[in-house]
């Protein structure tokens, strides 16, 4: 049965979110194999591969997708892959003040993985919340290097 777009109701409650999604992290076995798929999917070009030795991973951004490839099986992302193959790993929300948000959320009972914000892959500041406090999702807060109001 065809669906008539003219009949689609518009939900007036859908304003732009205060916590927009900055990107979604996907754990993969191979950036080299997966990046071309997401280039086709999104029409975006993959960024150069970036090594984050302190996390034991290489990362690559394709638009709103971050691919995470572990250096070995022992790190957090390596163990995540061992447990269930390539899949969604985390969701990152864009915030204006990551330090303030982290304080607010810890005070509200959320469990932080990072005690203080730290540099992220794109030059922003980031902090992670533990899945145990969010109902199962690994959540990253990202304060971009550019002001949100920049053109």
The footprint of a copy of itself (CB under 8 A) covers 3, 5, 8-11, 13-14, 17-21, 23-24, 26-28, 33-34, 37-38, 40-44, 47, 61, 63-65, 84-91, 93, 105, 108, 110, 117-119, 122-125, 129, 131, 133-139, 144-146
Question: Least Å distance between CB 140 and a copy of itself?
Answer: 12
74 versus 85: smaller Cβ distance to a copy of itself: 85
111 token code pair: 């469990």
Question: Least Å distance between CB 51 and a copy of itself?
Answer: 16
Question: Least Å distance between CB 37 and a copy of itself?
Answer: 5
* CB-based contacts of 120, cutoff 8 Å, min separation 6: 126, 140, 142
37 versus 74: smaller Cβ distance to a copy of itself: 37
18 versus 72: smaller Cβ distance to a copy of itself: 18
Question: Least Å distance between CB 56 and a copy of itself?
Answer: 19
**Torsion-angle region of residue 54: left (phi > 0), alpha (psi -120 to 50) or beta?**
alpha
56 versus 141: smaller Cβ distance to a copy of itself: 141
């Amino acid at each position: 049965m065809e669906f008539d777009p003219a009949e689609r109701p518009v939900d007036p409650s859908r304003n732009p979110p205060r916590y927009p999604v900055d990107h979604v992290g996907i754990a993969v076995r191979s950036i080299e194999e997966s990046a071309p798929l997401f280039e086709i999917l999104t029409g975006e070009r993959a960024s150069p591969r970036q090594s984050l030795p302190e996390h034991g991973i290489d990362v690559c951004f394709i638009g709103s997708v971050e691919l995470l490839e572990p250096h070995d099986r022992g790190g957090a992302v390596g163990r995540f892959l061992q447990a269930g193959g390539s899949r969604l790993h985390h969701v990152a929300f864009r915030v204006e003040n990551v330090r303030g948000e982290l304080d607010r959320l810890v005070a509200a009972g959320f469990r932080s993985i990072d005690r203080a914000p730290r540099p992220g892959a794109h030059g922003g500041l980031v902090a992670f919340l533990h899945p145990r406090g969010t109902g199962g999702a690994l959540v990253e807060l990202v304060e971009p290097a550019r002001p949100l109001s920049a053109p």
